[in-house]
């Protein structure tokens, strides 16, 4: 059967694949477009699997909130390049996944990946198809559901997303607190949430530093206590100076508004992922050799 340009065009529009791949699939299936789509899906999924070992440290944070401001879902979805993260299809997929997590109350990645999307395919299947189409490794890395009397969120571009759950206060205050968390990176709400192991580790460092001062033991002990207290204020939300008014702490701001932060989630794209450093010229040469 003769493969026409119109057939190739139709297959390209339905699959998003390249012209040569479409023509080859049509030749192999004797012009049967449905069979060609099935063949390309199988081939595409194989290609997607091969890309799974590549580092995906770019991407975006997507947030979906309910109409009643009582619950918000936040997800991190990764890809390999900032170019793809700023495209059209990847952000649309991320927003759909965040909305699905909220609508279906899916607070863990495995459940989210197994959930069906509006297109009838699961998140995992849709992701693999997107990988095959765009040509980059991608993954849904983490998801969090945050609920409370007042839930507010803040996005810094699409790279940092914060959701805050509060008792008392209002959404405007919650957004200010979320903005502060985005900028100041607290590790916990209060000092009692900081692990004892981390405190002991810092205490060892401060002790070693203070010992070199040559001061009496009782003075050194007071110095260490002071350093630990300062450290805890620096890494906890309540102890930090409020970014919009450094003369007051977040704790004082909340007390003045009769509000309390119950919990927060802060996601930043790629945090904790070790990026592979490559020489650009070597990378281009590797692509040329592989083509």
**Domain tally, the chain:** 3
Whether residue 87 sits in one domain with residue 166: yes
In a domain, 29, yes or no: yes
What is the residue whose two structure tokens read 């699939």?
25
Q: The sheet that has 71-79: what strands, in order across it?
A: 58-65, 71-79, 139-147
Whether residue 230 sits in one domain with residue 179: no
Helix (H) or strand (E) holding 180: helix 171-184
Q: Which domain holds residue 12?
A: 5-53
Residue 48's pLDDT is 62
CATH number at residue 25: 1.10.8.10
Whether residue 204 sits in one domain with residue 249: yes
In a domain, 33, yes or no: yes
Q: Which residues contact 273 (CB under 8 A, 6 or more apart)?
A: 55, 56, 57, 78
Whether residue 49 sits in one domain with residue 71: no
| Contacts made by residues 15-23, CB under 8 angstroms, sequence distance 24+ | 15/40, 15/44, 15/133, 16/133, 17/44, 17/133
Local confidence pLDDT in tens for the 291 residues of the chain: 789 988 888 877 676 666 788 888 899 999 998 888 878 776 665 566 566 667 778 999 999 998 787 999 999 999 999 899 999 999 999 999 999 999 999 999 999 999 999 999 999 999 999 998 888 889 999 999 999 999 999 999 899 999 999 999 999 999 999 999 999 999 999 999 999 999 998 888 888 887 777 788 788 888 888 999 999 999 999 999 999 999 999 999 999 999 999 999 999 998 887 665 545 455 555 555 554
pTM of the model: 0.76
Contact between residue 54 and residue 79 where contact means Cβ atoms under 8 Å apart: no
Gyration radius of the chain over CA positions: 25
- Of the candidates 276, 282, 219, the residue with the CA atom closest to the CA atom of residue 57: 276
CATH number at residue 132: 3.30.479.20
Burial class (CB in 10 A: 0-12, 13-18, 19+), 16: middle
Whether residue 73 sits in one domain with residue 31: no
CATH number at residue 238: 1.10.286.20
Q: How far apart are CA 252 and CA 96, in angstroms?
A: 38
Q: What angle do CA 238, 244, 245 make, to 5 degrees?
A: 75
In a domain, 43, yes or no: yes
In a domain, 274, yes or no: no
Q: How far apart are CA 118 and CA 250, in angstroms?
A: 42
Q: What is the DSSP letter of 66?
A: -
Whether residue 231 sits in one domain with residue 139: no
């Amino acid at each position: 059967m003769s493969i026409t340009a119109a057939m190739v065009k139709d297959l390209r529009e339905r699959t998003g694949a390249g012209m040569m791949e479409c023509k080859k699939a049509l030749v192999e299936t004797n012009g049967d477009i449905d069979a060609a789509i099935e063949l390309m899906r199988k081939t595409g999924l194989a290609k997607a699997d091969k890309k799974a070992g590549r580092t995906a440290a770019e991407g975006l944070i997507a947030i979906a909130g309910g109409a009643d401001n009582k619950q918000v879902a936040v997800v991190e979805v990764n890809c390999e390049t900032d170019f793809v993260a700023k495209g059209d299809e990847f952000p649309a997929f991320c927003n759909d996944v965040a909305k699905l997590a909220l609508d279906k109350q899916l607070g863990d990645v495995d459940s989210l990946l197994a959930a069906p999307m509006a297109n009838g395919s699961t998140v995992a299947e849709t992701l693999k198809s997107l990988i095959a189409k765009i040509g980059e490794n991608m993954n849904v890395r983490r998801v969090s559901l945050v609920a409370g009397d007042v839930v507010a969120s803040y996005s810094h571009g699409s790279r940092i997303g914060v959701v805050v759950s509060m008792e008392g206060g209002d959404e405007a205050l919650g957004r200010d607190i979320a903005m502060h968390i985005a900028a100041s990176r607290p590790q916990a709400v209060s000092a009692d949430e900081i692990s004892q192991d981390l405190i002991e580790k810092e205490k060892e460092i401060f002790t070693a530093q203070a010992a070199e001062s040559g001061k009496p033991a009782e003075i050194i002990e007071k110095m260490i206590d002071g350093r630990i207290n300062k450290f805890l204020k620096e890494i906890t939300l309540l102890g930090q100076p409020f970014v919009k008014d450094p003369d007051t702490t977040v704790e004082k701001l909340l007390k003045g508004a009769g509000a309390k932060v119950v919990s927060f989630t802060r996601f930043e794209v790629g945090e904790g992922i070790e990026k592979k450093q490559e020489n650009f010229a070597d990378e281009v040469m590797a692509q040329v050799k592989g083509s």
